[in-house]
Amino acid sequence: MSETPIVSADQIAASAPLTGQPMVKAEQVWKSFGKLDVLKGVDLEVYPQQTYVLLGPSGGGKSTLLRCINHLEKIDAGRLWVGGDLMGYRQRGDVLHEMRSGDVARQRSLVGMVFQRFNLFPHMTAIENVMESPIHVQHVAHKQAEAEAEELLTRVGLREKLDVYPAQLSGGQQQRVAIARALAMKPKLMLFDEPTSALDPELVGEVLDVMKNLAREGMTMVVVTHEIGFAKEVADGVALIDGGVIVEEGPPNEVLVNPKEERTKVFLSKVLA
Amino acid sequence: MDADKVAAAGGDPAAAASRPEAIKAIPVRHWGRWISAIVIIYFVVALLYSFIKNPNVQWSVIWHYLFMRYTLIGVANTIEMTFAAMVVGAVGGTLLAVMRLSANKVLSTVSWVYIWFFRGTPVLVQILFWGYIGALYYRLYLGLPFTGLVFWSTLAADATRHIIVVAILALGLNEAAYAAELVRAGIISVDAGQTEAALSLGMSPALTMRRVVLPQAMRVIVPTFGNETISMLKTTSLVYVLGGAVELLGRMQQVYAMTFQIIPLLIVASIWYIFLTTILTIGQHYIEAYYGRGFGQDEAEAAEKRAARRDLRRAGMSHV
């Protein structure tokens, strides 16, 4: 979509090499809503600059796992770290202390999230959506935030739509604004929750292109999607989640081409049919 | 340019150019509409005639009192009461709404009881209650209860002599109960995804409420709150029961109690109420347009204007 990288070089340089500390680490994560166990002991490691794709049937727990990573949902058991920090808790000795909302917000500001339903702020123009958090959370000067927002929107191909309200944008354009909005916080990690599921088929490509560029530029990404093609093309790791557990994981050319588990085979045959 | 377009349309210029002739037909005559309109106009004219030509209306008396200083002060007091009560109502209502939605059970229960009480009794009763508060508490204190610490105190009878203050208190505290339900409905109407998106961007819950949820809730709240303001303007007339001839109706009533020109003075009051209501309605239109931004019909045009301003700014900066 553009030749200039979306992620700045120092952002990439700041992240550790692939062999270092994982960007996301989940250890026996459990999550239940009432009596319904949605996650039943999930282990996951995503390393810096990796693109990790979560596949699986709906209701299997993949979106919940994503929402646990940035603490939009509290986990019931296990541990979850982002960039080496426990999400939502502070550990002193053996005792866990819940974090105050301000500290949770600080942690979340390092993790960008893109939603299935875009969730742009409808009362702000495209550029105001992108500037909002840098100005009010990171206290970036208005002029600088505006310049950076303009740059980001240009890179996702929306140079002509800066002053347009979300309601006047197509789904694909809205989702690209949402990606720019998340990137404006200069996150270390990006989470995508079925970013193309609510789009008309002909608009899926433009959003996937932006995501592919991001992946190639070295952004660490965890992506929940049904786009097997995207997974094959850019994923470093793929996991199939069903029934609240990771059924199978590995590099895409193993999991997607020669799956070992019966459940993976069944799922893939349905998705690819 | 046009030729290009036609050529692009598929190489058949005739197909693109020939639009069929529009249908010409004799429209249906709606006799029923004509007859009903004539009947209604006939009665409306008769009613207006009977009113305007009625000697009891006493147009000269109306004219005499309409712009009298005594009346104008009443109008000013009515306006002051309306806005002050609405400010008390809006601030109190927002507070009560946030309390009502709070996870803290004590806060949400207190809010619930307040709303239950103030919506459960007539506003006229509340006005009288505040007016005669001196019969319940001889002295009013501002301080910390049970500690003996008092910053300020006054005789209740002295306080209730200020009818405007009593009215603002009574009307404002009553309005807060209604405004609370309004604000709560507005907050609930904002999609949960908005809060999630804001939180995921690192906003604190308070910032999320202020920058993302409340501005969107306003789009739901403002039209109804405008109606509440118009309603409040007229509710202030109930304050006349406390005497003192402060607001518009109270003052008119004071006059006709002496002159017995009841109808003309009620018409003077009505003219002012209608005038003020009209002004408020116009103001409401502009406030709604502001909070409805991003949802309007003429958005494409507005976006072009904003883009043009941006280009101007950019050009201006490059000169510097």
The tens digit of pLDDT for each residue in B173-185 reads 999 999 999 999 9
The tens digit of pLDDT for each residue in A189-208 reads 999 999 999 999 999 999 99
In a domain, B132, yes or no: yes
Chain A residues with CB under 8 Å of a chain B CB are 70, 72, 101-102, 105-106, 108-113, 115, 117, 119-125, 132-133, 136-138, 162-168, 178, 181-182, 185
**pTM recorded for the entire structure:** 0.78
Side chain identity, residue B271: I
Range of B84's domain? 60-290
pLDDT at residue B161, as a whole number: 82
In a domain, B304, yes or no: no
pLDDT at residue A11, as a whole number: 52
Q: Computed from CA positions of residues A170, A173, A179, A184, in that sequence, does the dihedral angle turn out positive or negative?
A: negative
Chain A residues in contact with B190 by the CB 8 A cut-off are none
Whether the CB-CB separation of A234 and A212 falls below 8 Å is answered with yes
Q: Into how many domains does chain B fold?
A: 1
* Closest chain B residue by Cα to residue A113: B200
Q: Output the domain CATH number for residue B254.
A: 1.10.3720.10
Chain A residues in contact with B197 by the CB 8 A cut-off are 113, 115, 119-121, 178
C-alpha dihedral over A149, A154, A158, A164, to 10 degrees? 40
Q: What is the ipTM of this complex?
A: 0.90
In a domain, B22, yes or no: no
Residue B134 pLDDT level (bands cut at 50, 70, 90): confident
Give the mean pLDDT of chain B: 88
In a domain, B4, yes or no: no
In a domain, B260, yes or no: yes
The reply to whether residue B299 touches residue A164, judged by beta carbons under 8 angstroms, is: yes
Average pLDDT over residues B303-319: 75
Whether the CB-CB separation of B300 and A168 falls below 8 Å is answered with yes
Whether the CB-CB separation of A129 and A121 falls below 8 Å is answered with yes
The reply to whether residue A119 touches residue B197, judged by beta carbons under 8 angstroms, is: yes
Q: What is the CA radius of gyration of chain A?
A: 18
pLDDT at residue A15, as a whole number: 43
In a domain, B2, yes or no: no
Whether the CB-CB separation of B175 and B86 falls below 8 Å is answered with yes
